[in-house]
Structure 1
């Protein structure tokens, strides 16, 4: 196997059996459903690049999927979440691992990583707060880290959400953020981590699902 074939390998590059054998031999490591040569650094570009095998590039990685790409979740979600701008006209093959919904986003909501569109850390935190049905440990731990990546405290994140207008789910996001802040402040006195932190990768084993509202233009609709 040529380790320089690609930074992220899938069955489109090499037979699945060969990739699995290389994993067992310690030549590659898993990146969700893909693999990467062992001498490649596990970073956001690798994680985002692995999504290219799942969906068209016109879709935008969001919510827990974006949180994983940004490194605040150590494991990829069981179900990947993507936004589709109304004019994208991109529909992946049906899969139990994919949740694709239409949402209007601004260019400032999106960054390009590994050839994929991904919501920014700020947009990701707000979307988690806004759309999560039941706030869990993983979600609650992810929001403070995403807010930190955005250069905002949780108090400043609240002010940002308050300033949004005509945004569906705004009050839900604020209520979810209040729970996150309460839990975060309760744990802030601990010297070891907030919910199982992983030092090496600056990611967390258990993070939080919270979704928030990032922009006035948002009008979510199931695809």
Structure 2
């Protein structure tokens, strides 16, 4: 774990577990990865991302619903946070229960830096959400539409980005979700 000096997150280095738990019960903090975030932290992507950066294992990046949250498409951060490692990196997370972690093939151009935190681009995030079979179709389309609205993307852009990637599981499901999303916009 690395904690940037500007991290707005609070952990056991600052407060005891009892104090953190009490503050959470009082509604002053909410859990974010392995730390806690003040509820009054301004919801600027850079501030939120700086908080997540403190929880990221080395080489990891923020993806799927957590990336959608940082891009302004979701009001609340998903629990657990969703992180990924580039395929081929042999790192193992220290406390894997605090966040969801997977390995994925990703190009550097599909990552952006927000608040010192590596995050999938809005387009990559949109495609990843549409491919996620753990999300129901209705939820995936709602999140995809929210990402598209904040980033100025369309179903055509999503379809093109999906087709530019090869050998992906759930491609037919994602294509159907894009079709349903496009139809709902008419």
C-alpha distance 47-57 of structure 1, shift in aligned 2 (>3 A): farther
Q: Look at both structures and tell me which one has the larger radius of gyration over its CA atoms.
A: 1
Please tell me whether the aligned partners of residues 112 and 121 of structure 2 are also in contact (alpha carbons under 8 angstroms): yes
Q: Which residue of structure 1 aligns with residue 45 of structure 2? A: 44
Task: Quote the Cα distance in structure 2 between the aligned partners of 1:122 and 1:165.
Answer: 12
Task: Quote the Cα distance in structure 1 between the aligned partners of 2:161 and 2:179.
Answer: 14
Q: Which residue of structure 2 aligns with residue 128 of structure 1? A: 129
Please tell me whether the aligned partners of residues 23 and 30 of structure 1 are also in contact (alpha carbons under 8 angstroms): yes
Q: Which runs of 5+ in 2 are unaligned?
A: none
Identify the structure with the greater helix proportion. Answer: 2
Q: Which residue of structure 1 aligns with residue 168 of structure 2? A: 168
Matched ranges for 1:65-80 at <5 A: 65-80=66-81
Q: Which runs of 5+ in 1 are unaligned?
A: 187-223
Q: Which residue of structure 2 aligns with residue 100 of structure 1? A: 101
Q: CA deviation at 1:77?
A: 1.9
1:31-84: CA deviation from partner (whole Å, max 9, x where unpaired): 63412383x412222332333454314211111121122221222223332221
Residue 57 (structure 2) pairs with residue 56 (structure 1): yes
C-alpha distance 98-161 of structure 1, shift in aligned 2 (>3 A): same
User: Taking structure 1 as the reference length, what is the TM-score of the superposition?
Assistant: 0.65
C-alpha distance 114-11 of structure 1, shift in aligned 2 (>3 A): farther
Misfit runs of 4+, over 6 Å? 23-26
Q: CA deviation at 1:97?
A: 4.2
C-alpha distance 49-128 of structure 1, shift in aligned 2 (>3 A): same
Task: Quote the Cα distance in structure 2 between the aligned partners of 1:54 and 1:161.
Answer: 29
Task: Quote the Cα distance in structure 1 between the aligned partners of 2:20 and 2:80.
Answer: 23
Q: CA deviation at 1:20?
A: 5.2
Which protein, 1 or 2, shows the higher relative CO under an 8 Å CA cutoff with sep ≥ 6?
1
Matched ranges for 1:1-223 at <5 A: 6-19=7-20, 28-30=28-30, 32=32, 33-36=35-38, 38=40, 40-162=41-163, 164-169=164-169, 170-182=171-183, 184-185=184-185
